[in-house]
Amino acid sequence: MNERFPLAYLVPLRLLFGAILSLEGWSKLRGDWLHGTPLLRNLDRWLADDRPYGFVMPIVKVAHAHPKIFGSLIAIGELSIGACMLVGLVTRASSALGALMLLSIAASAGQGLAPPGNALLMAAVFLLFVVVPPGRVLGLDAMLRNRLPRWMV
């Protein structure tokens, strides 16, 4: 059986997830996330409910101690990864970073498989984008394919 999956089928999903992350990142930039207050509130609530998984607790404690740094990283990360998805630029590398960020958020929030949280579902799609890069269709990756390493585009 020699079936090939046309990358064009993933373009609407790439654009949707790019728009979601861009809008989330933009709203965080316009909000108070660069000062760390909303992140600190979320972390306090998650810690009070004992939601973070044990293996991610050291990262949660560092984020709790430095909410400005981590709030800025989350806001800028969401905005930049979303923008890369929208224009189809370095989709493999952006998807890998997006999956790492979203899996960290899902583990910190204690999201499980039943019912799955939004961060967990988005991370799964970003892992798919690492394997099957949708930026090669209607994206800048198509033009940069011969100029950048394969692991990026």
How far apart, in whole angstroms, are the C-alpha atoms of residue 29 and residue 110?
25
This prediction has a pTM of 0.91
Residue 94 within a domain: yes
* Range of the structural domain that residue 124 is part of: 8-144
Residue 117 within a domain: yes
Percent residues over pLDDT 90 in the chain: 79
Per-residue pLDDT, averaged over 107-112, amounts to 92
DSSP helix/strand/coil, 65: helix
**Tens digits of residue pLDDT in 66-83:** 999 999 999 999 999 999
Number of domains in the chain: 1
Q: Does position 1 have pLDDT exceeding 50, yes or no?
A: no
Residue 151 within a domain: no
Residue 150 within a domain: no
Q: Say if residues 53 and 47 touch (Cβ distance below 8 Å).
A: no
How far apart, in whole angstroms, are the C-alpha atoms of residue 109 and residue 26?
21
Q: Does position 62 have pLDDT exceeding 50, yes or no?
A: yes
Residue 44 within a domain: yes
Percent residues over pLDDT 70 in the chain: 97
Cα dihedral 100/70/111/51 (nearest 10): 140
Which stretch of DSSP H or E encloses residue 122? helix 118-131
How far apart, in whole angstroms, are the C-alpha atoms of residue 100 and residue 80?
14
Tokens 């209607």, located at residue? 138
Task: Write the CB contacts of 117 (distance below 8 Å, at least 6 apart in sequence).
Answer: 106, 109, 111
Residue 85 within a domain: yes
Residue 57 within a domain: yes
Residue 38 within a domain: yes
